[in-house]
Amino acid sequence: MGAVRFSTGLLFVGILLAACGVRSGTSAGLRPEACVILGSWTVPQADGAATRPPDKVLAGFAQQQVVLLGETHDDPEHHRWQLHTIAGLHALRPDLVLGFEMFPRRVQGVLDRWVAGELSETEFVSQSEWERVWGYDRSLYLPIFQFARMHRIPMLALNVERGLVSRVGDEGWAAIPAGEREGVSDPAPADRAYAIRLYQAYLDHQGSAATARQIPRERPSEEELADAKFRRFVEAMQVWDRAMAQGIAQRLRSNARPLVVAIVGTGHLRDGYGVPRQLRDLGVTRVAVALPWDPSDDCLELRPGLADAVFGIEARPRPIAADRPRLGISVEQAPDGVLVREVVPGSIAAQSDVRDGDLIVGIAGERASTVATVIDAVRRQAPGTWLPLTIRRGPDTVEIIARFPPRP
């Protein structure tokens, strides 16, 4: 999870995020060129996939109420495709609104100030709490954010707090009091096929305890589908879907009636499940789903209902991820600093005598006012260097030096 390991609830959400963009392998003997041409739009049909001119595809999208653009969150090529598609749609529908899975509703004011040109990039990233609420490489998304700012396109925060989703996974939707649901209404029931699709992501979430069961299977048993813990997992995904659908539907009720283009993980969109299902339940029927199609995707998956159209993406080598240092703590925001919820045994933090319940009030000579401040300070740390921490432990203030080992 990068420099700082987040709390258990956020780890749960992290698994869900990963599930948003799971890819399937290509079937033996099938070449990607057989079903999707690179750089072209393809429409899945019962009698075989059909290539469509880009102007026709975008013109059709422009007539909808909502266009949902899927992604694998850490794939740069997916984000390049999204930006180009957004630019094409903006030329046809200047009344565009861009919705984002990546932001909880409470940071809507930050998005508004960014689009209005009132915030620097650093201020936008910090005030939107990007590292805490999303955590993926910001450089993948910034070109889209910059495009929105350049053209003064409204940006819409679609999500709810991660803690709500995690809590549903732990307790179930029915256990959440109405006043603590962040305005999310009861989701439309999950299709059986959606639950079946989610089961492998559920197994992945179980971690080492379910290692023996993590072999991908065609279909879980009836007993497994009825398991209470799995049902809560499905409910958590549905709440996520419903929250995003509600955010879109509410914007469509405005007098302007814009075209809402939403950036959402592919797992929330495939086959009409997830967000499209919840939008239909909310009365939004003119919805188009567009997905990037990777050369590694299985041609057998290109069937009617998968999406309204897919775009053939080139398989480029991904940038090598930086070997970021890890302090080894789970943290959460506190009124006067950053609270250490848990210290990983054997980690740099543990070796430096950071303890559960410590309050980080200073780091690298700066005030530790937010979780993002702590994460950024750790990520800037080079191997073989020391990181000073100011800790409030009960009534005492303790100065601690975290020593990062040199690179092997």
- DSSP states of 186-239 as a string? PPPPPPHHHHHHHHHHHHHHTGGGGGGG-S--S---HHHHH-HHHHHHHHHHHH
Contact 111, 144 (CB under 8 A): no
Phi, psi of 26 (to 5 degrees): -75, 135
Going along the chain from its start, the domains and CATH numbers come out as 8-312 (3.40.50.11550), 329-403 (2.30.42.10)
176 contact partners, CB below 8 Å, separation of at least 6: 164, 167, 168
Q: Which of 6, 329, 13, 14 is nearest to 167 (CA)?
A: 13
pLDDT at position 397 is 95
Query: Residue type at 248?
Result: I
| pTM for the structure as a whole | 0.76
Average pLDDT of adjacent 10-residue blocks, the chain of 408 residues = 35 41 38 75 89 97 98 95 98 97 96 97 89 85 98 97 89 95 94 86 60 55 88 93 97 89 95 96 97 92 94 82 73 88 88 94 91 84 91 95 86
Judged by DSSP in three states, 383 sits in coil
pLDDT at position 324 is 65
pLDDT at position 375 is 84
pLDDT at position 328 is 87
- Under DSSP, the state recorded for 139 is G
Q: Which of 240, 306, 308, 301 is nearest to 66 (CA)?
A: 308
pLDDT at position 376 is 82
pLDDT at position 333 is 84
Supply the Cα-derived Rg of the chain in whole angstroms: 22
pLDDT at position 14 is 41
Give the C-alpha separation, 128 to 291, whole Å.
27
pLDDT at position 313 is 94
Checking 374-377 for CB contacts under 8 A at 24+ apart, the result is 374/4, 374/331, 374/338, 375/2, 375/3, 375/4, 375/131, 375/132, 376/131
Residue holding tokens 């909502």? 66
